[in-house]
Chains A and B, each alone.
Chain A
C-alpha cells in the first residue's frame, strides 16, 4: 500500500486514475453547463447587455461625437475664456454644413441645448446661414447673427460635447454641472434629482418598516396556528398577492378618491373629507398593501422552522415570556426579516405604476423620471444616467446591508 501512495494509480487500460476522473467530471460539468446555459444566455441577452448599453448611453456624446471633429480640433488650443478665433468659427461652420446634409444638425443643436438653453434656435438659424455660404470669413457672420456666439460658455459647451464621452448626464443626475471654475451645483430652481433620489429611498424605507411592523405579528400568528386555521389565514394573505399589481393599485385609487367610499365614511363620522388621493399618504398606504406579502412570507417560512421547544425550554428555565421571545425566538427570525425587508426595499425602489396612479407630483420616484426623460424629453442619456445611478446606489446599499446582516444568514425558507 505504501507504493500506491507514491506511484499514480492506473486504471486497467493504463491511464492514470486522476485523468479518468477528470474526464468523467468534465462530461458531467458540460452537462451541468448545458443545463444552465439557457438561463445564462437569457440573463446575458435580456439583462447584462442592455445594462451595459444603458451605462454606455449615459456617458457617450451620441448626438455630437464624430460630427464636430473639426470644431473639436480647432478648439484644442483655445483658452476657454475668450472668444475663439476665426479658425474655430470656420470649423464649426464646416461641421454644421456637413451635418445639415446628413440631417444631423438638429441633433447637435439638441445636445448643446441640454447644457445651454436657447441653443436650438441659434444653431438652426446659423446652420441655414452658413449652408448658403461658400467661403468665410465666418466669425463676423456668426457674431452678427447673434451675440450668443461671442459667449465663451457656449463654446466651452460645444468643446465638451464634441468629445467621445461626457460626464454631463451623470453630473446632472446629482444636480451638478461644469462651471467656469470646475464643478458647481446647479441653481436651486433646476435641482430636481437629489430630492427625487432622497424621496425614492425614503418612501422605500418607510414602506419596508411598515410592512415589517404589520407583517411580523401576522407571520407569527400563521406560524403558530394549527394547520387548518393557518391555511385559511394564509389564503387571506395570498389572495391579494395573486391579484395583479395594477388591479390592486386601481382599487386603492377608487378607495382613496375624494368622492370615494373612505371619504364618504369620514364624512358620515367626522363630517369632513380628507385629501388622500394624489398624496404621499395614499402612495405609502397602497405600496405597503402591495408589498406586505413580500415581507411576510420569508418571515413566516423561517418562523415555521423554529421548533416551539426552544421557547418552551427557555420558559422552563425561568425566562419571562418577553425575555424568552426576545432572547430565544426573535434572533432566530432575523434571517427571515432580513430577507423579507431586503426584498421589499429593493422592489420599492423601482415602483412606477402605484405612485403614478395614486401619488401626487411630489411622490413620483426615480423610475417616473427615467420614463419622463425617455418619452417626453427624448433625452436617453439622462434617462440612462438616472437609472445607472439608482442601480449603483442600490448595489452599495445591498453591500452595506450584507456587511451588517450577512447574506449567508438570509433565508427565504
Chain B
C-alpha cells in the first residue's frame, strides 16, 4: 500500500494491526486449548525449516531484509515467520503440550530474564555464536544474546504543531499547552517512570521513589492528569498509524517505528528527552527440535557485518562492538545510541519490574477501570 495515500490507508493498516494482534491472540488461545487437551498434533515440519518469532511490522521487515532473506539465500533453509506482541504465555503453553514449534524468538529484556529463570529458554552456548566479550555490556545473557538497542520515545505530528512544538517529556503531560489525545503503551512499564519524571522526580531517583507505595500513588496521580486524553496501544505498529490517521497528536512509541514512518514521508518528529533505553535479544525456546539450526541462524545474525545491515532498514543500533563501527555515519543521528539523543536517557530497571510487574499491572488495570 502506498504510504502517501493518507488516512484511509493508515486506517486500514491500523485496523490490520489490531486484527492481526487479535488473530495472534486467538492462535494463542488455541495453543492454550492444546495444553488443556490431550490431543497432540504431530509436528509435520521438515528439518531445514526454521520458525522465527518477532514483533511484526516495520521491525520484522528490517529483520527480514537484514537477516532472513540473506540467510535463506545462503543456506537454503526456509524461514517461517511468526508475529507476537511479547506473549511468552504461548511458549509456555507449547512447552506444556510438549510441542514447541518456535525455534528462534526476538524478546525484550524483561522476557529474556524471566524466560530464563522459568526454564522457558535454552541456556546459550556462546562457543556456537561468537565472542561473548564483543557484545556490549549487559547484552550477552545466559539465555539471550542482544540484537538491537532500541528506545521508547514520544513522537508528535509536526503538521499539528508547526510553531512551538513539544521538546521535553513535560510537554507529553501538558494538555493545556498541547491539547489533544496522546497514545501510551497499555502497560505500567515505562509509563510510571515517565510520570514520575514529569512530576519532578530526578531520573536517578525514579526507582527509589517507585519502590514506595507513596511513589506509586504519585505516578498514578500524574497519569490521572492526562488519563482522559490517552489512547492506549498494544502493538508496536499502532503508534505511527494512530499519529497518521489523526487519532492522536502525540504518542509514545519504539523509536524505529516512528523512524520508518518518517522515511515513508510522514511528517513526524521524535522527542528524545528521557528516552527509555532497552535491548532486544535472540533466544532459543527450550524444547525446540531445531536447536542446531537455531544456533546457526543466531550466529549468522550476530555476525558484525550482517548485524550492521539492520540499521539501514530501521533506526535501531547493533549490540556487537564491531558492528557499531560498520554502521553508516549518516544513519547514526537517528539511532538511540547517538550521544545527543542519549543526554537524558534512562534505563529501565528490570529487577524492579520482575518483582513488581504483577502487582503494578493489577493496579494499572484497576486504575484503567476507574
Contact = CB atoms under 8 A, between A and B. Distances in A.
Given A246-B19, A254-B11, A371-B25, A189 B86 contact: no
Given A51-B36, A190-B362, A375-B87, 12 more contacts: A45-B38, A49-B37, A107-B118, A121-B351, A189-B366, A189-B367, A192-B365, A250-B19, A361-B368, A372-B365, A378-B88, A379-B358
B117 A378 contact: no
Given A105-B117, A113-B355, A121-B354, A54 B369 contact: no
B266 interface: no
Nearest to B116: A106
10 smallest beta-carbon distances between A and B, as pairs: A106-B117, A375-B87, A50-B36, A361-B368, A117-B359, A375-B89, A103-B119, A53-B36, A118-B355, A378-B89
Contacts, number: 132
Interface string A231-272: 000000000000000100010011001110000000000000
A353 B18 CA distance: 10
B92 interface: yes
B92 A378 contact: yes
Contact of B369 (A278, A362, A371): A362
B36 A195 contact: no
A379 B93 CA distance: 11
Contacts of A362: 368-369
Given A257-B11, A361-B369, A374 B32 contact: yes
Instruction: Say whether chain A's binding surface is mostly helix, strand, loop, or mixed.
Output: helix
Interface in B21-36: 22, 25, 28-29, 32-33, 35-36
A46 interface: yes
A380 B119 contact: no
Interface string B117-130: 11100000000000
A380 B22 contact: no
Interface in A350-365: 353, 356-357, 361-362
21 contacts: A46-B39, A49-B36, A49-B38, A51-B36, A53-B35, A53-B36, A107-B119, A109-B117, A110-B117, A121-B355, A189-B363, A189-B366, A190-B363, A199-B369, A257-B245, A259-B7, A278-B231, A374-B93, A375-B28, A377-B361, A378-B114
Given A110-B118, A375-B87, A361 B361 contact: no
A353 B25 CA distance: 10
A257 B7 CA distance: 12
A64 to B, nearest CB: 13
A186 to B, nearest CB: 9
A213 B221 CA distance: 42
Nearest to A195: B369
B322 interface: no
Nearest to A56: B36
Interface string B71-98: 0000000000000001111101100000
> How extensive is the interface on chain B, given as a class?
35 or more
A27 interface: no
Contacts of B361: 376-377
A358 B29 CA distance: 21
A379 B114 CA distance: 13
Interface in B199-246: 231-232, 245-246
Interface string A270-296: 000000001000000000000000000
A377 B367 contact: no
A246 B247 CA distance: 21
A376 B110 CA distance: 11
A258 B249 CA distance: 13
A45 B37 contact: yes
B186 interface: yes
A64 B1 CA distance: 51
B270 to A, nearest CB: 24
Interface string A172-214: 0000000000000000111110011001000000000000000
Contact of B358 (A106, A114, A195, A258): A114
Contact of A46 (B22, B37, B118, B359): B37
Nearest to A125: B351
Interface string B164-197: 0000000000000000000000100000000000
